[in-house]
Amino acid sequence: MSHAAFADSVHVRAPGKINVFLGVGGRHDDGYHALATVFQAVSLYEDVIARPADDFSVTVSGVEDIESVPLDDRNLAMRAAKLLAVAVDHPGGVALEIRKSVPVAGGMGGGSADAAAALVACDALWGTGLSQARLHDLAARLGADVPFALHGGTAVGTGRGDQLNPALARGRFDWILVPSEQGLSTPVVYERLDLLREDEGALADDPQQSLDVPIPVLQALRSGDPAQLADTLFNDLQAAALYERPDLAETISLGVAAGALQGIVSGSGPTIALLCPDPETAQDVQSSLRENGLDPLHVHGPVPGARIIG
């Protein structure tokens, strides 16, 4: 099927992400913190269907807490469509249908995946045929995590997280994700990190301070060995997320006791990501967490970025 202009609809799927490493530096004047991170796209997807319309509109269905997703210009997918329309001088609008699977405000970049999917969907629907480089530029203007949702796979992000370089990753990593009913606000977690650091008198807020992804993280990804990767999982936001949600430490302990190699707060949380040695152990961990009243999901990574599926 051709996706040139005048298609009836375009269906795009984009993945949520885990940060297998997240180093946070000082705060820039624009409020953003310097980051050095490794993203991995995982098999939990957002579906966005774009249909021709005179105006711009968005509907959302899927996960819990759907009512907290805005349906106006604050919606990242809507903003993506409008940004593309201005960039390419598209005269009409678009009706976007978002089917969410990524938890809202879960630290897995669900809104960013919606934005990346909307860019790809509208580009195809309107037949604008932008290059990957131009799509990447528009994505970066929408949010620091949006370029990665376009890109997918495993990648190193620097700057605000939006300057991407692919990382070699062999094989497949099995993760158990434990979403929370209540989301955590990303700005609140960063503010908490700043306060904790002030208290410790640690890390001056020097945005120029150099931040790097440690070589062992990249080696572990290249090896494809989950045990090696488990030893290098790290998140500078974890202490701040656990401060806001102390119960999450218990979720990590339960997962590790059930056979996971290691657990980590995903991004700004509150989703917990537990790295498992193989798919069978992941199923055991999932069953055990279910018995504890949690609602775990079994996913794997890396998977591709935003792509047209229909």
Cβ distance to ligand ATP smaller for residue 99 or 222: 99
Cβ distance to ligand ATP smaller for residue 156 or 220: 156
Q: Does 65 qualify as catalytic in the annotation?
A: no
Q: Which of 19, 37, 40, 75 binds ligand ATP (CB under 6 A)?
A: 75
CA separation for the pair 83, 118 (Å, rounded)? 10
Cβ distance to ligand ATP smaller for residue 74 or 141: 74
C-alpha distances in Å from residue 120, one per residue of 34, 46, 50, 59, 83: 28, 13, 10, 18, 12
For residues 167-196, which are near ligand ATP according to CB under 6 A? 183, 186
Q: Which of 85, 104, 254, 275 binds ligand ATP (CB under 6 A)?
A: 104
Applying CB under 6 A, does 68 fall inside the site for ligand ATP?
yes
Q: Do residues 303 and 15 make contact, with C-beta atoms less than 8 angstroms apart?
A: yes
Strands 10-27 and 234-235, bridge-based pairing? parallel
Helix (H, G, I), strand (E, B) or coil at 111: helix
DSSP 152: B
Cβ distance to ligand ATP smaller for residue 58 or 233: 58
- Give min distance, CB of 279 to ligand ATP, in A: 25
Structure tokens at 137: 């530029």
Options 47, 114, 123, 145, the catalytic residue: 145
- Give min distance, CB of 206 to ligand ATP, in A: 24
Nearest CA to 166 among 153, 179, 150, 175?
153
Strands 262-265 and 272-276, bridge-based pairing? antiparallel
Applying CB under 6 A, does 109 fall inside the site for ligand ATP?
yes
- Give min distance, CB of 153 to ligand ATP, in A: 18
For residues 202-241, which are near ligand ATP according to CB under 6 A? none
Q: Does 82 qualify as catalytic in the annotation?
A: no
- Give min distance, CB of 233 to ligand ATP, in A: 17
Cβ distance to ligand ATP smaller for residue 44 or 261: 44
For residues 14-43, which are near ligand ATP according to CB under 6 A? none
HEC letters along 290-308: HHCCCCCEEEEECCECCEE
CA separation for the pair 151, 35 (Å, rounded)? 18
Strands 93-99 and 56-61, bridge-based pairing? parallel
- Give min distance, CB of 184 to ligand ATP, in A: 7
DSSP 55: S
Helix (H) or strand (E) holding 83: helix 76-88
Applying CB under 6 A, does 70 fall inside the site for ligand ATP?
yes
For residues 141-160, which are near ligand ATP according to CB under 6 A? 145
- Give min distance, CB of 143 to ligand ATP, in A: 6
Applying CB under 6 A, does 105 fall inside the site for ligand ATP?
yes
CA separation for the pair 89, 84 (Å, rounded)? 8
Angle between the N-to-C axes of helices 247-257 and 279-291, in degrees from 0 to 180, rounded to the nearest 10: 130
For residues 240-299, which are near ligand ATP according to CB under 6 A? 267-268
Helix (H, G, I), strand (E, B) or coil at 273: strand
Q: Which residues bind ligand ATP (CB under 6 A)?
A: 68-70, 74-77, 98, 104-112, 114, 145, 183, 186, 267-268
Active site residues: 17, 145
